[in-house]
Chains A and B, each alone.
Chain A
Amino acid sequence: MSKRLGMLFPPVAVFVAFVGLWYLYSGVVLDEARRKITLPYFHDVVDQSFLDGENRGELLGATWTSAWIAAVGLAISIVLGLLFAVLMSQAKWVERSFYPYAVLLQTLPILALVPFIGLQIGFGIKARIVVVVIISLFPIITNTLFGLKAAEQGHHDLFTLHDSTRMTRLFKLQFPSALPAMFTGFQISAGLAVIGSIVGGLFFGRGAVDLGNRIQLYVARLRAAELIGAIMLSAALGVMAFWLFGYLRNYFTASWNEAE
């Protein structure tokens, strides 16, 4: 119990210090008029965003929309990422052909690309999902590819000695040995998927309202308390996505992974 308390204390202390600085800045530096439209007190943010029934409903509805857009985009990224990684691991020419473009995908400034995506496929939900896929695909490809190629030579020798087929080697050796790296990729991408979902919402307003749409609206109407509430929910969503895949990685690999 005391160990758990000991582990909880540092982040809680940082949070308390952060909120303290927040109060200090809002109360001392800002006058009341500016405070209301830039940085309201912490308790005002909680009050207006989460205790007010109407606002809470709006924000939670938007969070749910952002969450499923991120989930659908991430699922597509996982399927595509695994597929490309497997193909690249099986044939050097595939890796040489596609890997540079996977890198390019990662280095493209997503904000510059988003309007272009809108022009191509419209400004609705589909475009937001595409943004999520673009932003979350690369870590899955690189981590899975790294994992598939990192199976030990001694283990490969065992399979060679028994004339194993490529598929046997892939499913009985490379995939299991790649699991920790794969889940690390999923974990990174899960956080990025949430970011992609919200960035997409900042640009694409058609269809269900998500956190990105809400953030746009709150900025336009100078509703700082709800804006901060939306940012808090975005952060919570990202943390939950990251935690979920961390939990899954532990569930599937902690019993055997030497590095855990």
Chain B
Amino acid sequence: MIDVARGAGAVSALLHVNVQVAAQALVWHDLSVSEGQLTRTDLDRLLSFDSVSMVFPDGTHALDDVSFDVHAGEFVTIVGPSGCGKSTVLRIASGLLANSGGSYELADDNLGYVFQDATLLPWRTVLKNVELFDELRGGDKAARRSNAMKTIETVGLGGFEKHHPRRLSGGMRMRVSLARSLTMSPQVFLFDEPFGALDEITRQNLNEEVGRLFKALNFAGLFITHSIPEAVFMSTKVLVMSSRPGRIIDSFDVPFEYPRTSDLRYDPEFARLSGEISMSLAEGH
């Protein structure tokens, strides 16, 4: 309970935008403790894939019998070779793509989604980009402006509100993309290999930033990446996907405490776990 209280304090100090989600997390923790349950329950399952398969109209068999759950408080990363269907998992989870077999459930459609590209509208300023989702949902102008300003501050881009995306670096654009999704206070956050095009230092900084937000805001994350160190650094659980048709062939719990700093990357346990995942990936390739 102490940890939970500290987490809630961090929320109010950092953001003030996700009180509802934080409150839900508190309720869940209370239930778990009072009932003495250590295993995850249906109650906190936010995303669930049950034997999902995907065959595209051109006959490409992208996914085969993919099953996994993402619970509240979890940050799950899927690693796998190029073209194995990782992004297809996210597109199905978000409803952008209809699966051809199996079923999936999403507890709430308040979904954060960060794409491979920052997908900022180039004619809009940073502020107007971050306001976009509230605007599309018909939010009140003053409220959406204030919400956007807060999330821009949260991702460390205060002062850049009036800049157009062309004047920002790749890392800054990704921060704007993050801020845009944060305005929705998502319970589930999907990340489709968002940092793959960035340089290593920026990528590591953003890994830490997302880890910080994950703990502060209590969203559940589903992250796609090629990079095993990135997967281990960010996640509570790593799923390994085979080459096409993609199947979940292995699952690894990641035991490290948050907040995670760059020192973790030099931890022998980090190296051992990365090695195990790497071997699993090679076997499934």
Task: Enumerate chain A interface residues (CB-CB to B < 8 A).
Answer: 152, 154-155, 157-162, 164, 168, 172-173, 176-177, 179, 253, 255-258
* Pick from A155, A159, A161: contact of B113, CB under 8 Å: A161
Residues of B within 8 A of A176 (CB): 121, 123-124
Q: Which of A160, A255, A258 meets B96, CB within 8 Å?
A: A160
Residues B115 and A253 in contact, CB atoms below 8 Å apart: no
Question: Is B119 a contact partner of A161 (Cβ separation < 8 A)?
Answer: no
B residues within 8 A CB of A160?
A: 96
Contact (Cβ within 8 A) A179 B137: no
CB-CB under 8 A for A154 and B164, given A161-B96, A161-B113: no
Residues facing A in B101-154 (CB within 8 A) are 111, 113, 115-117, 119, 121-124, 132-133, 135-137
Beta-carbon contact of B115 and A154 below 8 Å:
yes
Is the Cβ of A161 less than 8 Å from the Cβ of B165? no
The interface size of chain B toward A, counting residues with CB under 8 Å, comes to 21
Q: How far is the CA of A155 from the CA of B120 in the complex (A)?
A: 8
Do B136 and A168 have beta carbons less than 8 Å apart? yes
Q: Is the CB of A257 within 8 A of B111?
A: no
Whether, in the assembled complex, B166 has its beta carbon less than 8 Å from a beta carbon of chain A, the answer is: yes
Point out the residue from B95, B121, B123, B124 that lies within 8 Å of A161, measured CB to CB: B95
**B94 proximal to A (CB < 8 A):** yes
Q: From DSSP, what is the main secondary structure of chain A's interface residues?
A: helix
Bound: A168/B135 CA distance, A: 10
Evaluate contact between A256 and B122: CB separation under 8 angstroms: yes
Q: Nearest Cβ distance between residue B172 and chain A, in whole angstroms?
A: 15
Beyond A157-B119, A158-B119, whether A256 also contacts B137 by CB under 8 A is: no
Starting from the known contacts A168-B136, A173-B121, A253-B123, 16 additional A-B residue pairs (CB-CB under 8 Å) come to A154-B115, A154-B116, A154-B119, A157-B119, A158-B132, A161-B94, A161-B113, A162-B133, A162-B136, A162-B137, A164-B136, A172-B136, A176-B121, A255-B164, A256-B164, A257-B122
CB distance from A182 to the nearest CB of B (A): 13
Contact A256 B136 (CB under 8 A): no
| Chain A residues with CB under 8 A of B115 | 154, 157
In angstroms, Cα B123 to Cα A168, docked, is 16
Provide a sorted-by-A list of 14 A–B residue pairs whose CB atoms are within 8 angstroms: A154-B116, A157-B113, A161-B94, A161-B95, A161-B96, A162-B136, A173-B121, A176-B121, A176-B123, A177-B123, A253-B123, A256-B164, A258-B122, A258-B166
* Residues of chain B within 8 A of A159, CB atoms compared: 136
Q: Which of A157, A177, A253 has the most CB of B within 10 A?
A: A157
Select B119's contact among A155, A168, A253, beta carbons within 8 Å: A155
CB proximity of A133 to chain B, nearest CB, Å: 29
* Minimal Cβ-Cβ distance residue in B for A260: B166
- Once bound together, how far apart are the Cα atoms of A255 and B123, in whole Å? 8
* Best-buried of B111, B117, B123 by chain A (most CB within 10 Å): B123
Assembled-state Cα–Cα distance A172/B135 (Å):
10
Q: Which residues of B contact A172 (CB under 8 A)?
A: 135-136
Question: In the complex, what distance in Å separates the CA atom of A135 from the CA atom of B132?
Answer: 40
Instruction: Tell me, in angstroms, the Cα distance from A157 to B92 when the chains sit together.
Output: 12
A253 contacts which chain B residues (CB < 8 A)? 123
Inside 8 A of A162's CB, which chain B residues have their CB?
Answer: 133, 136-137
* A153 to B: closest C-beta gap in Å: 9
A154 vs B120: C-alpha distance in the bound complex, in angstroms?
A: 9
Give the CA-CA distance A152 to B165 in the complex, in Å. 15
**Lowest 9 A-B CB distances belong to which pairs?**
A154-B119, A162-B136, A256-B164, A176-B123, A256-B123, A256-B122, A154-B115, A258-B166, A154-B117
Question: Quick one: which of B111, B121, B137 contacts A155, CB cutoff 8 A?
Answer: B121
